[in-house]
Chain A
Amino acid sequence: MLSLPNFAAQAFNGLVLGALLALIASGLTIIYGTLGVLNLAHGAMFMVGGYAGVVAYQYSGSYLVAVAAGSLFVMALGLLMERVVIRHFYDRPPEDQILVTFGLGIVYVELVRLTFGSLSQSMPPPSWAAGITSLGFMIYPTYRLAVVGIVAVALLALYLVLYRSRLGMIVRAGIEDAVMVDSLGIDVYRVFMIVFGIGAMAAGFAGIVNVPIAPITPDVGESILVETFVVVVIGGVGSFPGAVLGGLIAGEILSLTSMVDPSYSQVMLFLVMTFVLVVRPRGLLGEQGRA
């Protein structure tokens, strides 16, 4: 039914979903832009962040601890993954890189399934964001509104790191010309490792923040991965603003089309991706050149 409250609710849902997708896709895209590696384990890392956070919550009872734990755990996982595995694949064909991250993604999912089983785990929203809020013409769960704000802060932090910090400057130079950065005395592989950690952390952060909205299962990462890919293709691979824009667009498409027919929303997203591919192959904000 196309009533204003319904529409508004879905539009807000789209914003929430879009913000999360934007954050996850940003992580994926800066990893690809800097290292040239497509991280097929990215969805699994989203899921691992959720689980790590839930465990931390069960011990501490604190939402903030949970979020911190989820993010940091996945960051550590990312650093380790780059150092131990990915680093050996820079000289290998891209298909090998894809296969190894794909395999690692499976391993993470199965490890979690082994540890926690297949039933879902949940975590309640923090007390300061519990309940519902009245927005005049409609009511909406408070936590979801909070998520928009939380993710916006995270995206802002990511932006500040990328565009206003020394590290970000090195990363952006490294995206352009890693060899030159190395020639200027900066160990590029160390930079790569950090970037992978940051990108992973973005996924993990989104993973734990999402748990109060939707309880988490080991398989949740799969659909997130697909949606993230679509976002990146729409926005342009290697572009942080592209990931944000693409995420918001994708979120709205998924939510609004589900009003018409829930089963069509995924198809609709795919159609938009196809359209972008045909009309503007490098994505809305992408750079020409990268495959």
Chain B
Amino acid sequence: MSLIEVKALNSYYGDSHILFDVDMHVERNEVVALIGRNGAGKTTTLKSLMGIVRPSAGSVKFDGVELVGLPSHAIARAGMQLVHEERRIFGSLNVEQNLVLAGLTAPNRWPLDRVYEMFPRLKERRDSRGTDLSGGEQQMLAIARALVRDPKVVLLDEPFEGLAPVIVRDLVAACRVLAAAGQTIVLVEQNLAATLALAQRVYIVNNGHVVHEGPSRELKEQPKLLERYLGV
């Protein structure tokens, strides 16, 4: 049984039909990527998994449990975590408070030391308010906040966007470590180099439909596919 099993998922934004009968699956310990142009429906897919957008039709089974219709806090407790594109850290709280709050309802929460070991930068800034953090630090915090809950799956929505290449490099390395340790990750990214380096399998989404699925190395060997659905 797949860890995540998505069948015939349809989601709307307002009454804009964004996802049309999306099928996908995610296995344990995999890193799966969703790529495609803006407006293709990648973020809506992640939000649908997390229950922030309520799908109008279809099913999402997480370890055999149906998630569609559940409130987000229940989905979080089931072991799913989403790192939003806008990061959405709590600016009025400091780094440590963000982490503590995230772990409050997680039975297997990470001890703070483990978090700080992974992101030493956050330890340095543990007393800084969220609003005082740089873009890269905020992204680190957003990811750390998700990991604190020891989730079965982490959904990453464009984690490397808008960051300096040095920071991106560090984050990619951190994700590599996570993946190697067995963390299941679903990654949405426009930075294709990073994506193809991390993910084993890739879905291409275009105009709300899944148009391609396959191993990432296949895409490296078939640049025409990328041109068609991502390029100009």
Write the nearest CB–CB distance from A83 to chain B, whole angstroms.
16
Partner of B91, one of A176, A181, A186, A187: A176
Residue B179 is within 8 A (CB to CB) of chain A in the complex: no
Cα–Cα, bound, A188→B51 (Å) = 14
For chain B, the bracket of interface size reads 20 to 34
Nearest CB in chain B to that of A188: its residue: B73
Nearest CB in chain A to that of B130: its residue: A176
Nearest CB in chain B to that of A189: its residue: B71
Residue B59 is within 8 A (CB to CB) of chain A in the complex: no
Most chain A Cβ neighbours within 10 Å, of B50, B90, B93, B149? B90
Nearest CB in chain A to that of B146: its residue: A184
Question: Within 8 Å CB of A179, what residues of B?
Answer: 52, 72
Question: Within 8 Å CB of A184, what residues of B?
Answer: 73, 76, 101-102, 104-105, 145, 149
Question: Within 8 Å CB of A186, what residues of B?
Answer: 73, 101, 104-105
Tell me if B101 and A169 are in contact (CB < 8 A). yes
Nearest CB in chain A to that of B50: its residue: A183
Partner of A172, one of B93, B102, B145: B93
Within 8 A of B (CB), among A182-203: 182-188
Tell me if A176 and B106 are in contact (CB < 8 A). no
Given A169-B97, A183-B82, A184-B145: A177 in contact with B73 (beta carbons within 8 A): no
Write the nearest CB–CB distance from B135 to chain A, whole angstroms.
18
Nearest CB in chain A to that of B98: its residue: A173
Nearest CB in chain B to that of A166: its residue: B104
Residue B200 is within 8 A (CB to CB) of chain A in the complex: no
Question: Within 8 Å CB of B81, what residues of A?
Answer: 183
For chain A, the bracket of interface size reads 10 to 19
**What 1/0 mask marks residues of chain B from 37 to 69 whose CB sits below 8 Å from any chain A CB?**
000000000000010100000000000000000
Residue A213 is within 8 A (CB to CB) of chain B in the complex: no
Cα–Cα, bound, A290→B27 (Å) = 43
**What 1/0 mask marks residues of chain B from 79 to 104 whose CB sits below 8 Å from any chain A CB?**
00110100010111100010011101
Tell me if B90 and A173 are in contact (CB < 8 A). yes
Write the nearest CB–CB distance from B188 to chain A, whole angstroms.
16
Question: Within 8 Å CB of B93, what residues of A?
Answer: 169, 172-173
Residue B121 is within 8 A (CB to CB) of chain A in the complex: no
Residue A11 is within 8 A (CB to CB) of chain B in the complex: no
Nearest CB in chain A to that of B149: its residue: A185
Residue A180 is within 8 A (CB to CB) of chain B in the complex: yes
Residue B169 is within 8 A (CB to CB) of chain A in the complex: no
Nearest CB in chain A to that of B89: its residue: A180
Tell me if A173 and B92 are in contact (CB < 8 A). yes
Tell me if A183 and B97 are in contact (CB < 8 A). no
Write the nearest CB–CB distance from B159 to chain A, whole angstroms.
16
Tell me if A169 and B72 are in contact (CB < 8 A). no
Residue A170 is within 8 A (CB to CB) of chain B in the complex: yes
Residue B77 is within 8 A (CB to CB) of chain A in the complex: yes
Tell me if B105 and A176 are in contact (CB < 8 A). no
Question: Within 8 Å CB of B88, what residues of A?
Answer: 177, 180
Partner of A185, one of B52, B92, B104: B104
Write the nearest CB–CB distance from B104 to chain A, whole angstroms.
6
**What 1/0 mask marks residues of chain A from 143 to 182 whose CB sits below 8 Å from any chain B CB?**
0000000000000000000000010011011011101111
Cα–Cα, bound, A177→B92 (Å) = 11
Write the nearest CB–CB distance from B99 to chain A, whole angstroms.
10
Question: Within 8 Å CB of A182, what residues of B?
Answer: 71-73, 76
Q: Lowest 4 CB-CB distances: which A-B pairs, in order? A: A185-B76, A185-B105, A173-B90, A182-B72
16 A-B pairs with C-beta separation under 8 A:
A169-B101, A170-B101, A172-B90, A173-B92, A173-B93, A173-B101, A176-B90, A176-B92, A179-B72, A180-B84, A180-B90, A182-B73, A183-B52, A184-B102, A184-B145, A186-B105
Taking beta carbons and an 8 Å cutoff, which residues of A are in contact with B? 166, 169-170, 172-173, 175-177, 179-188
